[in-house]
Amino acid sequence: MVLRAGELGRRDFIRVVTAGVALIPALGPAGLAQVIGPQRSRVALVKTGDRKRGVTDVLKLMDLSGVRGKRVVIKPNFNSADETPGSTHNDTLSQLVTELHEANARSVTLGESSGPPRTQGVMQQKGTFDLSKDFRFDVVDYEQIPESDWVAFPSEHWPQGFSLPRLVVNADYNVSTCCLKTHGFGGVFTMSLKLSVGLTPKPIRRTMHSSPDMRRMIAELNTGYRPDLIVLDGIVAFTDGGPSRGQLKQGDVMIAGTDRVAVDAVGLAMLKYLGANQAIMGRKIFEQEQMARAVELKLGVESADAIDIVTRDAESKATADSLRQILAQG
Could you read off the pLDDT of 141-171 as tens digits, one per residue?
999 999 999 999 999 999 999 999 999 999 9
Mean pLDDT over each residue of the chain, to the nearest integer: 91
pLDDT recorded at residue 10: 42
Report the predicted TM-score, pTM, of the whole model to 2 decimal places: 0.89
pLDDT recorded at residue 195: 97
pLDDT recorded at residue 133: 98
pLDDT recorded at residue 288: 98
**231 vs 19, more confident:** 231
Residue 73 has pLDDT above 80, yes or no: yes
pLDDT recorded at residue 213: 96
| 253 φ/ψ angles, rounded to the nearest 5 degrees | -135, 150
**22 vs 99, more confident:** 99
Distances (CA, A) of 227 to 74, 135, 172, 224, 285: 9, 22, 10, 10, 21
The arithmetic mean of pLDDT across residues 188-195, rounded, is: 98
What count of other Cβ atoms lies within 10 Å of the Cβ of residue 160? 12
Residue 30 has pLDDT above 70, yes or no: no
Residue 25 has pLDDT above 70, yes or no: no
The arithmetic mean of pLDDT across residues 172-178, rounded, is: 98
pLDDT recorded at residue 22: 45
Q: Which of 233, 215, 322 is nearest to 269 (CA)?
A: 322
Residue 74 has pLDDT above 80, yes or no: yes
The number of C-alpha atoms within 13 Å of 194 and in the hemisphere containing its C-beta is 31
pLDDT digits (tens, 9 = 90+) for 251-310: 999 999 999 999 999 999 999 999 999 999 999 999 999 999 999 999 999 999 999 999
Percent of residues, the chain, with pLDDT higher than 90:
86
Residue 7 has pLDDT above 50, yes or no: no
pLDDT digits (tens, 9 = 90+) for 62-71: 999 999 999 9
Task: Specify the CATH number of the domain 5-329.
Answer: 3.40.50.11440
- Reduced 3-state DSSP string for the chain: CCCCHHHCCHHHHHHHHHHHHCCCCCCCHHHHCCCCCCCCEEEEEEECCCHHHHHHHHHHCCCCHHHCCCEEEEECCCCCCCCCCCCCCHHHHHHHHHHHHHCCCCEEEEEECCCCCCHHHHHHHHCHHHHHHHHCCEEEEHHHCCHHHEEEECCCCCCCCEEEEHHHHCCCEEEEEEEEEEECCCCEECCCCHHHHHHCCHHHHHHHHCCCCHHHHHHHHHHHCCCCEEEEEEEEEEEEECCCCEEEEEEEEEEEECCHHHHHHHHHHHHHHHCCCHHHHCCCHHHCHHHHHHHHCCCCCCCHHHEEEECCCHHHHHHHHHHHHHHHHC
Mean pLDDT check: name the lowest of 35-39, 178-182, 241-245, 300-304.
35-39
